[in-house]
Structure 1
Amino acid sequence: MMVTTLTQSKTFVVKGGNTLSGTVRLSGAKNAALPMIAAACLGEEPTVLDNVPVNLRDVKILIQILSEAGAYIQVDGNTVSCARGSFPNTAVNPIASEIRYSLLLLGLASAFGSELLLPMPGGCKIGDRKYDLHLMGLSKLGSTVEETEEGILVTSKGNVGAQIEFYLPTTSGTENIMIAAAIAEGETTILNANTRPEIMEMAKLMNLMGANVECSNRVVTIKGANKIKGGVRYSVMPGWDEAVTYIIASAMTGGEVCIPDFSLDFIKEDVRHLREIGVEVFEWGGAVYASGKKTKKSFDLFTAPYPGINSDMQPIFAALAFVVDGKSTITDLRFTERFKYVDELKKFGGNIYSFGNTAIVEGGIPLLGTDVNATDLRGGAACVLAGLVAQGTTVVGNVSQIERGYENIIEKLQQLGADIESHHS
């Protein structure tokens, strides 16, 4: 599963005006699959993960860099088998710098008492995304961590449990310390941990594999095991972020959508907001239904760590704000600079502007098709959503950003009735 460097030649072409209705099936959640793949590499025997979104670029890159670094990984359809193999036995491929979750290789190397040089991590350019908490946590466990011109060098002779307090609840930082502490000597407690559903699912997987992890609200406790056996099977949770995106896409166009095999448990706060806005959302018979036929009203949204609305979703809600009556505000309390997409959405002719950590959208102004670029994953998705309701044709560039997080997005939107195609220039 070799991944080439990013190309900018592919575009999405959207013709607005269609109503999106029908059934859409979710892929596995990217941000659940990535840490579970890394955690599965703690095991001596292969652990089988089902419902992995293997077509996503971030997933392909993580599998590639882990395999090249010696981990045992086999891919069969949407099933991925993972074990330690000979990890780590080599320097890490520079392509690792394109994804943030490459940081989890530091936790694995730290757990195994090894040395690893990791190129500087990447991901979405959404403002200040420090990894200082990762490095602080690994240092507290006894690993030596140095930042060099070549990247981040971790050297470990085996970890010892410690109490680690984060000044900010970090998702990937919590996951990294969970991995690093899994076979440490003694007990590790992470205070102010992020304990969102993806982390709860990762803890369940690790426990099945032979680890000892307890998660409660904002606290994670890991009792070190002598070894992690692995050899289990687990299914990656469905993509809640995908669900919210397709619910909002349908609602913006006045349509109705059914999402089978999904539960509202993962998106309670998003659903509360959607209902207040005027989108009907309910669960019945193991499926989620949503309707956007009613008049929708303006809203004030604040992002927050789980169970609040994830920072990821605020560009998607900004697109929704274009089609509601009145002025909406969106405030990001986590990534204060996550508003690069605003300049792209302005090109549709709507009234949106941002200052500090807030965006303000004046809804109800007709949008016009235009040429835009995906500044990041969700900002790109927001441009696609705006194009669905804009008059005329919208061309979205830099779509590799969108494909980092949405598996088969073109086909899924087409199934719902959207006029959208992928073009190669």
Structure 2
Amino acid sequence: MAMTMEHQRTNQQKTMRIEGGRELSGTIRLSGAKNAALPMIAAACLGEEPTILDNVPIELRDVQILIRVLREAGAYIALEGSSLACARGDFPRGTVNREASEIRYSLLLLGLAAAHRGELLLPMPGGCKIGDRKYDLHLMGLQRLGARIEETEAGIRVASEGGVGADIEFYLPTTSGTENLMIAAALASGRTTILNANTRPEIMEMAKLMNLMGAKVSCSNRVVQIDGQSRIQGGVRYAIMPGWDEAVTYIVASAMTGGEICIADFSLDFIREDVRHLREIGVDVFEWGGAVYASGKKQKRAFDLFTAPYPGINSDMQPIFAALAFTAAGKSTITDLRFTDRFRYVEELKKFGGSIHAFGNTAIVEGGRPLQGAHATATDLRGGASCVLAALIAEGESIITNVSQIERGYENIAGKLRQLGARIDTP
């Protein structure tokens, strides 16, 4: 899975050429959820014996980077198809590869090192540039569990001789911060209680995996409790949940083009608030026979959307709903209550000729106007996906650059959209 520097440069220069105006209809299957796979790969490395994770979205760049970083830091990871076998191996071993700075989930190596009573120097984490993404809650929580933390120009150094359970309260519900402390506390002595935790579906799934491996974790609304164990055996098998974010994106893509879609082997369990908004906007969505169906034949209505911790609309989805607003006559507003500066994509969407403006933590879209093909850049993962959605309904040809950002979270997005009838080339 080694990636040469030339391959990385090519990936960064990759473009997507889209001919708009085609109805998207048909059946697709989802990949495993990126934001479930990444923390579960790290959690599986708590185990002494290999744990097998199935339905891993192995083509995603972030997943590939995390695998390489964990391997180089000493973890045992073996790949077969879309399945990964993960165990501690001799993690942590030395300094982490600089490639870790490209993904935010590399932060979980700090919790993993603390759990295994080791020392690790982690380069400063990266991820999408979507405004203020602090990691102070990660460090505060790890220190409360007894880890020593030092921030230097070289990165973040963690060292631990063994954690001690504690009561930890977050000032806001952080997803990766909750996951990091779950990992760190799994092998600490005593009980750890995380208050105001994020308990979204990916975290519930991670808790199920950890419990199968031999940890003791319980999750309820905004509270996570971990009873530390002396060892985590591992040696189990678990499938990564389907990508709910993918599901919403493809439903919106089909709806924007007036099409009808079937998502096989999926349920509405994790996207009920998204579906409620989609129905209010005019998109028919229902579940039947183990699949989800959606139709965008009806006229779309303008809407007001506010992001919120689960079960509310996730901040990841606000750029997707912003693109959908182009097809709804009237004024729609999208307000992000988590990442208040997550609107860099707005300048790219303007290139398609639509009326969209952002100020503070809100975007305003005047929908119902035709879009024109444009050259746009994927500023981040979801912002890039919103540009693809706009291109699908724009008249003429559009070119999206920096596609590697989109491929961080959507496995084979061009192929899946082509399967629904889109005309897309990736020269």
**Shared fold (TM-score, shorter chain, > 0.5):** yes
2: distance between equivalents of 1:226 and 1:2? 35
Alignment of 1:121-140 (within 5 A): 121-140=125-144
* RMSD of aligned residue pairs (Cα, Å): 0.6
Match of residue 171 from structure 1: 175
In the alignment, structure 2 segments of 5+ residues that lack a partner are none
AA in 1 matched with 2:264: P
Q: Conserved in 2, the CA contact under 8 Å of 1:298 and 1:327?
A: yes
Match of residue 407 from structure 1: 411
Residue in structure 1 matching 2:149, options 137, 141, 145: 145
Alignment of 1:8-407 (within 5 A): 8-407=12-411
What's the secondary structure of 1:95's corresponding residue? helix
Q: Conserved in 2, the CA contact under 8 Å of 1:2 and 1:60?
A: no
Q: Conserved in 2, the CA contact under 8 Å of 1:377 and 1:402?
A: yes
Q: Conserved in 2, the CA contact under 8 Å of 1:119 and 1:151?
A: yes
What's the secondary structure of 2:224's corresponding residue? strand
2: distance between equivalents of 1:382 and 1:227? 44
Report runs of 4+ in structure 1 exceeding 4 Å deviation. none
2: distance between equivalents of 1:367 and 1:415? 23
Q: Conserved in 2, the CA contact under 8 Å of 1:127 and 1:337?
A: yes
2: distance between equivalents of 1:3 and 1:309? 35
How far does residue 90 in structure 1 lie from its aligned partner after superposition? 2.0
Question: Which piece of structure 1 moves more, 3-12 or 329-338?
Answer: 3-12
AA in 2 matched with 1:171: T
AA in 2 matched with 1:3: M
2: distance between equivalents of 1:90 and 1:211? 26
How far does residue 368 in structure 1 lie from its aligned partner after superposition? 0.3
Encode CA deviations 1:232-283: one digit per residue, 9 max, x unaligned: 0000000000000000000000000000110101100000000000000000
In the alignment, structure 1 segments of 5+ residues that lack a partner are none
2: distance between equivalents of 1:166 and 1:408? 36
2: distance between equivalents of 1:416 and 1:377? 21
AA in 1 matched with 2:173: P
2: distance between equivalents of 1:55 and 1:93? 20
AA in 2 matched with 1:264: L
2: distance between equivalents of 1:153 and 1:401? 28
TM-score, with length taken from structure 2: 0.99
AA in 1 matched with 2:356: I
TM-score, with length taken from structure 1: 0.99
How far does residue 108 in structure 1 lie from its aligned partner after superposition? 0.5
Q: Conserved in 2, the CA contact under 8 Å of 1:140 and 1:164?
A: yes
Encode CA deviations 1:328-365: one digit per residue, 9 max, x unaligned: 00000000000000000000000000000000000011
AA in 2 matched with 1:286: G
Q: Conserved in 2, the CA contact under 8 Å of 1:138 and 1:177?
A: yes
2: distance between equivalents of 1:121 and 1:143? 19
Q: Conserved in 2, the CA contact under 8 Å of 1:143 and 1:154?
A: yes
How far does residue 4 in structure 1 lie from its aligned partner after superposition? 4.2
2: distance between equivalents of 1:24 and 1:380? 21
Q: Conserved in 2, the CA contact under 8 Å of 1:371 and 1:396?
A: yes
AA in 1 matched with 2:263: I
1: distance between equivalents of 2:3 and 2:339? 29
Residue in structure 2 matching 1:418, options 411, 418, 422: 422
How far does residue 216 in structure 1 lie from its aligned partner after superposition? 0.2
What's the secondary structure of 1:160's corresponding residue? coil
What's the secondary structure of 2:158's corresponding residue? strand
1: distance between equivalents of 2:299 and 2:172? 38
2: distance between equivalents of 1:53 and 1:2? 17
Q: Conserved in 2, the CA contact under 8 Å of 1:48 and 1:79?
A: yes
2: distance between equivalents of 1:24 and 1:10? 24
How far does residue 187 in structure 1 lie from its aligned partner after superposition? 0.2
How far does residue 89 in structure 1 lie from its aligned partner after superposition? 1.2
1: distance between equivalents of 2:300 and 2:399? 27
How many residue pairs get matched? 423
1: distance between equivalents of 2:273 and 2:4? 38
AA in 2 matched with 1:190: I
2: distance between equivalents of 1:260 and 1:372? 31
What's the secondary structure of 2:405's corresponding residue? helix
What's the secondary structure of 1:326's corresponding residue? strand
Encode CA deviations 1:366-404: one digit per residue, 9 max, x unaligned: 100010000000000000000000000000000000000
AA in 2 matched with 1:272: R
Q: Conserved in 2, the CA contact under 8 Å of 1:3 and 1:60?
A: no
Match of residue 3 from structure 2: 3
